[in-house]
Amino acid sequence: MMRIEAVSAFRDNYIWTIRPSKQTDGQTNGCIVVDPGDAEPVLAWLQKNECQLNAILITHHHWDHTNGIDELVAKYACPVYGPVSDKIPAITHPVKGGDELTLLGGALQLNVIECPGHTLDHIAYINAQYMFVGDTLFAAGCGRMFEGEAEQFYQSLQKLTAQPADCQVYCAHEYTAANLAFAAAVEPDNLAIQERQAQVAALRQQNLPTIPSELAVEFATNPFLRCHLPSVTAAAEKRAGQRLNSAAEVFAVIRAWKDNY
């Protein structure tokens, strides 16, 4: 089992730290960091927890996920895994879909999945228990479609959500409350969304993160994972003013709707 903690950065970013829940005899207190957009809070966390940085995982090239790499590598000289992309020169170990990573002395295995849509170079790191999805899948939402096409992004989400229903989703931003407000606009009669809004409000009042979320909860409340359902299709068709012929077309309409919500 892994111990996974969030390091807050900027206004709403989460940088994830991963380490074994227990250290065995003779094992160093090693950890992994995912998407360090800012080195300073990560360095403070490493010092506080007396951790040695073993590796950095990068999901895509946006600055708020990569700007801390150089400073961290200068101190810890660790490998940097990430997509094959000329936009991230600090990557030392490029990975692609289908690759398997064995990390933390064999304690953690992760599969690499290519999930273009938010950016074309976006990847995720996944096993049956955890998924580190960057900005592709959010709690109750998904990332903006900066570089990809709607069909491509929709298929990326299908790949991510093929994991077990109890898989924990670790995304990179605290957007849940705003995402749920939009989800409620798409499906105003969805009681699961209303219940989740109350839960999220209580967490945020205590300044607690709303992430990770369980994949099963996303299936019940995330409109971008519900594009095949009549309620979301009807809302999208009303928004578009025309009949939509596929779940990917529904996705395109509600993604554009969210952009202007």
Q: What is the residue whose two structure tokens read 């064995």?
A: 102
| Radius of gyration from C-alpha coordinates of the chain | 18
Catalytic residue, from 38, 61, 62, 122: name it.
62
Active site residue 93: no
Active site residue 99: no
Angle separating helix axes 247-259 and 176-186, nearest 10 degrees:
120
Q: Helices (H) and strands (E) in the chain — how many of each?
A: 9, 14
Cβ atoms of residues 170 and 177 within 8 Å = no
Active site residue 65: yes
Catalytic residue, from 35, 38, 64, 121: name it.
64
**Is beta strand 30-34 parallel, antiparallel or unpaired with respect to 52-57?**
parallel
Tokens of 39: 């080195």
Cβ atoms of residues 117 and 145 within 8 Å = yes
Return all residues near 163 (Cβ < 8 A) that are at least 6 apart.
Answer: 126, 128, 131, 215
Q: What is the residue whose two structure tokens read 């299908």?
A: 158
Active site residue 61: no
Q: Do you find a cis peptide bond into 212, omega within 30 degrees of 0?
A: yes
Per-position DSSP letters for 142-193, written without gaps between them: E---SSS-HHHHHHHHHHHTTS-TTPEEEESB--HHHHHHHHHHH-TT-HHH
What gap in Å lies between CA 58 and CA 238, rounded to an integer?
A: 38
Tokens of 20: 């074994």
Nearest to 53 by CA among 70, 30, 21: 30
Catalytic residue, from 35, 38, 60, 122: name it.
60
Catalytic residue, from 35, 38, 61, 65: name it.
65
Enumerate the active-site residues: 60, 62, 64-65, 118, 135, 173
